[in-house]
Structure 1
Amino acid sequence: MAKSVPAIFLDRDGTINVDHGYVHEIDAFEFIDGVIDAMRELKKMGYALVVVTNQSGIARGKFTEAQFETLTEWMDWSLADRDVDLDGIYYCPHHPQGSIEEFRQVCDCRKPHPGMLISARDFLHIDMAASYMVGDKLEDMQAAAAANVGTKVLVRTGKPVTAEAENAADCDVKQPCRSAIGDTEAAKISVMDKR
């Protein structure tokens, strides 16, 4: 049996990159200041880095799955060029009211459902209790809770944060996770949180 590893699950839009809304072109993709350094440090600490992202723009016809895959490949290479190797990238192209029939469905992968996190857990042998979900929305926190992720970290680098999201998180900018992860790790995660 493979040894389990702790992971940092990362939402994409609003957590890794600036959320301009339906980001699908390289020219519109802007890494949030400090996020690459934080990811590099977390990787050095032994965490698997796993992106879990809802991409309803595919189902809504805002962009194609091929466009998303091109951007994702570019993002992955851009991070690798800066010594950040992602262990997994999981995305959900579905939406129940999508205009593209192939992707119009209720699924278990679209956050707040835990499907992407469970798939990553099973494939990468992730120790969920020792892992963290870092995201900017309530759905990120809910997916993490449903997948039994140990710590839910709400960042304020994306859309405005709701009180419901704050309540669902274990920590956010007001409570920097020091007791949960220790000073070093909390400092690295807080680099992602500029607002």
Structure 2
Amino acid sequence: MSPQPPIEAVFLDRDGVLNIDHGYVHDPADLEWIPGAREAVSLLIRAGVKVLVVTNQSGVARGYFDETAVHRLHRVMRDELRAVGGDITAFYHSPYHKDATVEAFRHPDHPTRKPNPGMILSGLTDHGLDASRCVLIGDNASDMEAARRAGVEGFLFPGGDLLAFMRRALGSRIPTLIENAT
């Protein structure tokens, strides 16, 4: 059996993987990082691995907040990650939902809304990535289905410490996750 190729990019769901999902998180004051998330992203970036966030944001479609709030939160997340040597290569969000109250975002099955693979496919294309050298970490079945449809290996994060999870799941393919273990 040949070893798996090294990983060139990790796609991450946002709510429930990077930050605690308090329900429709959009205000930076409500941002609470998952334990180990900032450290994991920092180690990935230092290892030369791209980090892309793919997140459904139906709160926009439901009229709870607008896309400006999504972008503001993502800027804050990026700033906080940069402070610890991390970064996000790109953020992708899908503001669509079949039950949207905001007409512009009502769609029965938008190609970017997970479990559809649109955000992942855009990330692969935009950054010239090889799907066989990418993984997705998500916290629910729609994340795993989106990964499958995009041809990307999916890992279901059960909660807890994201860095510890990545060390177990990806350590053999990203050795710096293990080398930098404390």
TM-score by length of 2: 0.84
The answer to whether the 8 A contact 2:46-2:85 is kept is: no
CA RMSD of aligned residues (A): 2.5
* Structure 1 residues 37 and 77: alpha-carbon distance in aligned structure 2, compared to 1, 3 A threshold: same
Q: Distance in 2 between matches of 1:39 and 1:52?
A: 14
Shift, 1:16, TM fit: 0.1
Give matches, 1:1-195, under 5 Å: 6-105=8-107, 106-149=109-152, 151-157=153-159, 176-177=168-169, 181=173, 185=177
Amino acid at match of 1:134: I
**C-alpha separation between the residues in 1 aligned to 2:170 and 2:13?**
21
| SS at structure 1 position matched to 2:71 | helix
Contact 2:12 2:52 in 1 (8 A): yes
Q: CA deviation at 1:177?
A: 2.9
The amino acid across from 1:18 in the alignment is I
Q: Is the 8 A contact 1:6 1:128 kept in 2?
A: no
Cα distance in 1 between the residues matched to 2:120 and 2:147? 8
Instruction: Check conservation: 1:18, 1:32, Cα contact below 8 A.
Output: yes
Q: Percent identity?
A: 37
Instruction: Return structure 1 stretches of 4+ with deviation > 2 angstroms.
Output: 176-185
Q: Structure 1, residues 4-63: CA drift from partner, whole Å, max 9, x if none?
A: x82100000000000000001111111111111111111222211000000001001111
Change (3 A) 1:178 1:134: closer
CA offset at residue 181 of structure 1?
Answer: 3.1
Counterpart AA for 1:42: L
Could you tell me the TM-score, scaled by structure 1's length?
Answer: 0.79
**In structure 2, distance between residues paired with 1:128 and 1:148:** 6
Offset, 1:69: 1.5
Deviations 1:86-132 (A, max 9, x none): 11100000001111101111310000000001111111011110111
Deviation at 1:73, TM superposition (A): 1.3
Q: How many angstroms apart in 1 are the aligned matches of 2:98 and 2:64?
A: 15
CA distance in 2, matches of 1:183, 1:68: 33
SS of the residue 1:152 aligns to: strand
In structure 2, the gaps of 5 or more residues are 1-6
Secondary structure of the residue aligned to 1:181 is coil
SS of equivalent to 1:177: helix
Q: Is residue 7–residue 47 contact of structure 1 (8 Å, CA) maintained in 2? A: yes
Distance 1:177 1:71, change over 3 A: closer
The verdict on how the C-alpha distance between 1:99 and 1:67 changes in structure 2, with shifts beyond 3 A counting, is: same
Instruction: Report the residue type matching 1:181 in the other structure.
Output: R
